[in-house]
Amino acid sequence: MLAVVCPGQGSQNPGMLSPWLELPGTADLLDSFSAAAGTDLTRHGTTSDAETIRDTAVAQPLIVSASLLALRAILDGRDTAEVVDVTAGHSVGELAAAAVAGALDDAGAVGLVSHRGRAMADAAAASPSGMSAVVGGDPEDVLAAIEAAGLFPANVNGGGQVVAAGSREALAALAEQPPARTRVVPLPVAGAFHTPYMEPARGRFEQVATTWLATDPRLPLLSNADGADYGSLGEGSHGHGRSADLLARLTAQITAPVRWDLCQASLADRGVTGLLELAPGGVLAGLAKRSLKGVESVAVKTPDDVEAARDLIARHSAVGGAA
């Protein structure tokens, strides 16, 4: 049973698309993504510095583009529905996962996420804020400390990690007096995403998302809201959910916590045996090692990882006929 997962914001790094552009056809595909996003993703993925790609308006389409470039290179023309048993994405990665599930085409996913990124960047600029990972400790103690500090648990990731979000002053105070047996690690993001700080962005994105071209998912897609398959909200034309519910939850997600712990629990309940994290991979595979014991994972970072990804698919894809 194979899960394909897509990383979220903060996973970007300078020059991350350079090796992918050496593959045939990738430059043209990235050009189409740039046109959809209204920004030069080739430049941002090859020569832009860390501060430039930290900008939410740049980071979000760049990350989704990286995931989809990697996916197409790995599959080499194969249909995702013939390979992937279940998919999910962390925060902005849920838009890439929607493309994996066939609910958005690749350029459509990049175009939609560019609206999300710009709206969230503007909201972050209007009200300075940030996010920090709280690693370790007792989960209940961590959540209580976050609340006591006047912060929000923006990402409940499982594996001993909760991301706190809110004002920079409150984050600094939490770092000075962290919960017992924890480390507080600032994240390279521009605002308190998945909290009420993003309400202006949610309203602005909703105007775009409600009329965006989308189709019903063609394979199981897990929601950040509760880890459930979108099919639980309504079967849709393929039995895996309805596009209207997907777009509504992608909108609500902007101010709602990401429950990646529940997504991982759903993967475990489904009997997932292999987890493939698309580029720029690493974070979700790391969480899986702590939360999904016995599940083999591959984190795709460069084209050097493509063969390992294909091998994982061959051995774990149930829909593709793996034993």
**% of the chain residues with pLDDT over 90:** 95
> What pLDDT, on the 0 to 100 scale, is given for residue 2?
98
**312 & 169 share domain:** no
pLDDT tier for residue 323 given thresholds of 50, 70 and 90: very low
> What pLDDT, on the 0 to 100 scale, is given for residue 42?
98
First-to-last alpha carbon distance for the chain, in angstroms, is: 9
Query: What distances in angstroms separate CA 158 from CA 131, 135, 254, 311, one per listed residue?
Result: 17, 10, 20, 27
Domain-located, residue 58: yes
Q: How far apart are CA 208 and CA 107, in angstroms?
A: 15
DSSP letters of 246-273?
Answer: HHHHHHHTTTS-B-HHHHHHHHHHTT--
Whichever domain contains 92, its CATH number is 3.40.366.10
Tokens at residue 10, please?
Answer: 């903060």
Query: Do 186 and 129 form a contact (C-beta atoms < 8 A)?
Result: no
pLDDT tens-digit map of 49-83 = 999 999 999 999 999 999 999 999 999 999 999 99
**202 & 120 share domain:** yes
pLDDT tens-digit map of 207-222 = 999 999 999 999 999 9
| H-run or E-run covering 3 | strand 2-6
Domain end residue (candidates: 186, 208, 226): 186
Q: Cis omega before residue 139 (within 30°)?
A: no
Query: Do 117 and 88 form a contact (C-beta atoms < 8 A)?
Result: no
Q: By residue range, what is the domain housing residue 64?
A: 2-125+196-316
**211 & 255 share domain:** yes
> What pLDDT, on the 0 to 100 scale, is given for residue 81?
95
Mean pLDDT of the chain: 96
**105 & 23 share domain:** yes
**164 & 200 share domain:** no
Whichever domain contains 177, its CATH number is 3.30.70.250
Q: What pTM was estimated for this model as a whole?
A: 0.95
**71 & 160 share domain:** no
Query: Do 44 and 58 form a contact (C-beta atoms < 8 A)?
Result: yes
**21 & 96 share domain:** yes
Q: Which residues are catalytic?
A: 91, 194
**260 & 147 share domain:** no
Domain-located, residue 323: no
> What pLDDT, on the 0 to 100 scale, is given for residue 189?
83
**285 & 203 share domain:** yes
